[in-house]
Amino acid sequence: MREAALTIDGLSVAFAGFKAVDNVSTVVEKGEIRVILGANGAGKTTLMDLVSGKTQPTSGHVYIGDREVTGLDEHRIARAGLGRKFQIPSVFRELTVRQNLKVAAAPTPGVFANLRLAYPDGTLRRVDEVLELIGLPDKADLEAGILSHGETQWLELGILITQNPAVILLDEPTAGMTEGETMRTAAIINEMRRDHTIVAVEHDMAFVKEIASRITVMHLGKIIAEGSVADIEANAAVREAYLGSKGIV
């Protein structure tokens, strides 16, 4: 029996009487890459906000592993094992790529204090491993502010990997990327699944096919289908609500 990494049970939120997320339940298993699809306004990002604590639910429950985190502040949910990457990258632009990862690896908050820490060899080796994984070893000593858009996105993925959360939420991780950058991002995310469970909101169907273990489709705040890529392609309700007659392409 597979272990649940993230459990969403009857989660709802209403704004001025409008249910943006309406009684959503799903279980994401450990090591899974779950992709959430849906048209604009389907409730995808709001669901991520509810899970991460950015928005408080009207009803329902959220569990990371077997720990309930419903309604906790964002920082407490992060400490419980949740990491989130937003569509716009957030890195320390004035620090080098390596320094960004070292700050992420530090056990206590405080950027500049952490840069003066004497890191154990194991931590430094881990930083080097992450640099290789995200494809930036040759740019390790460059300031993050001069990286390309794709490289900045990869650095932020590296920061999340270094922080080592059990569950990682990704909000359109390939937005603004070239086709080559998108496929490189897919390779990084597929490597991440060895140590992390990933939930991604994405619309690039070529990318979705590369990474998805399972797909959840939302429409008007509700889940209307879940399954493999093949299951979703064949689902008539999904075609009508979101994908159109061409399916996932």
Question: For 19-45, what is the mean pLDDT?
Answer: 95
Is the separation of the CB atoms in 68 and 74 below 8 Å? no
Distance between the two ends of the chain, CA-based, in angstroms?
A: 33
Percent of the chain with pLDDT over 90: 76
Q: What pLDDT band is residue 249 in, cutting at 50, 70 and 90?
A: very low
What strands lie across the sheet with 222-227, from one edge to the other?
Answer: 82-85, 167-171, 197-201, 33-37, 214-219, 222-227
- Rounded to the nearest integer, the mean pLDDT of the chain is 90
pLDDT for the residue numbered 116: 55
- Nearest in space to 97 (alpha carbons), one of 149, 148, 137, 150: 137
Q: What is the pLDDT of residues 61-70, one digit of tens each?
A: 999 999 999 9
Burial class (CB in 10 A: 0-12, 13-18, 19+), 238: buried
Do the strands 33-37 and 167-171 form a parallel or antiparallel pair, or are they unpaired?
unpaired
Beta-bridged to residue 201, according to DSSP, are 36, 171
Burial class (CB in 10 A: 0-12, 13-18, 19+), 141: exposed
Do the strands 59-64 and 67-68 form a parallel or antiparallel pair, or are they unpaired?
antiparallel
Q: What is the pLDDT of residues 140-177, one digit of tens each?
A: 999 999 999 999 999 999 999 999 999 999 999 998 99
Distance separating alpha carbons of residues 206 and 185, to the nearest angstrom: 12
Domains of the chain listed by start with CATH number: 1-81+197-249 (3.40.50.300)
Q: What is the pLDDT of residues 99-134, one digit of tens each?
A: 999 999 876 555 544 555 566 667 888 999 999 999
